[in-house]
Amino acid sequence: MSSYDYEALLKKAKANLPEHTNDGERFQMPEPDLFIEGKSTVFRNFGDVADAFRRDADAILAYLLRELGTAGNLDGRRAIFKSRLGVEQVKTRLKAYLNTYVLCSECGKPDSKLVKSGRVLVLECEACGAHRPVKVPRAVAVAEGPALVIGNTYDVLIQDLGKKGDGIAKVDKYIIFVPGTTKGTTVKIKITNISGTSAFAQVVNE
């Protein structure tokens, strides 16, 4: 029975375990590499973050655009935001996405996948086998993207006039300034710029 001694077998099993299962190191998010270019913010290592999260880049970008209240697009492995953003602004939203959609609450690893169980989205950890429902705030769950996108056209009602005589329309949380319009008219506009919750547009002549 000595060859089957429990302590010896336990030591042998521990010796054969992969190194990473024995350390307590938790996942570290890549530091966002941002720089300002004109009125836009370029997220240079966005692709690296998406790879580390093991999530679709488009899904992460859509989340960030909603949370940051701006427009943007992917440019290869970079992300371009149509407003000036700080590193901490972006990092805070990325951490929220990470904690909600990626990290296992038991082992802290990002080795997980999202599965639908009925009407509930469940995060399943492939490292330790734990699973939990994803608790998504209602505003995030129902939103499909930014209400306004630079370059897109919209039909809007001019509800008021600004101090400089520009028409003012409202879409979702945005106040849109439209030169050359009058109060009470409905016009087709093209968004030319977005800054925070303010947007600027020009009339489209059909």
- CB burial of residue 97 (10 Å; 0-12, 13-18, 19+): buried
Encode pLDDT of 163-188 as tens digits: 888 999 988 788 999 999 999 888 89
Inter-axis angle of helices 46-53 and 57-68, nearest 10:
110
Six-digit token pair at 65?
A: 């655009």
Domains of the chain: 24-142 (3.30.30.170), 153-203 (2.40.50.140)
Q: How many CB atoms lie within 10 A of CB 39?
A: 12
Count how many Cα atoms sit within 13 Å of the Cα of residue 97 in the half-sphere of its side chain.
Answer: 25
Could you read off the pLDDT of 70-88 as tens digits, one per residue? 889 999 999 999 888 888 8
Condensed to tens digits (0 to 9), the pLDDT of residues 18-37 reads 444 434 456 788 999 999 99
Please return the burial class of 202, using the count of CB atoms within 10 Å of its CB with bins 0-12, 13-18 and 19+: middle
Q: What does DSSP say about strands 78-81 and 186-195: parallel, antiparallel, or unpaired?
A: unpaired
Backbone angles phi, psi at 204, to 5 degrees: -100, 120
* Predicted pLDDT of residue 141: 39
Spatial CB neighbours of 134, under 8 Å, sequence gap ≥ 6? 100, 101, 114, 120, 121, 122, 123
Tens of pLDDT along 44-62? 999 999 999 999 999 999 9
pLDDT digits (tens, 9 = 90+) for 86-112: 888 899 999 999 999 999 888 888 899
Separation of alpha carbons 172 and 161, rounded Å: 18
CA–CA distances in Å: residue 41 to residues 34, 126, 148, 175, 189: 7, 35, 18, 22, 25
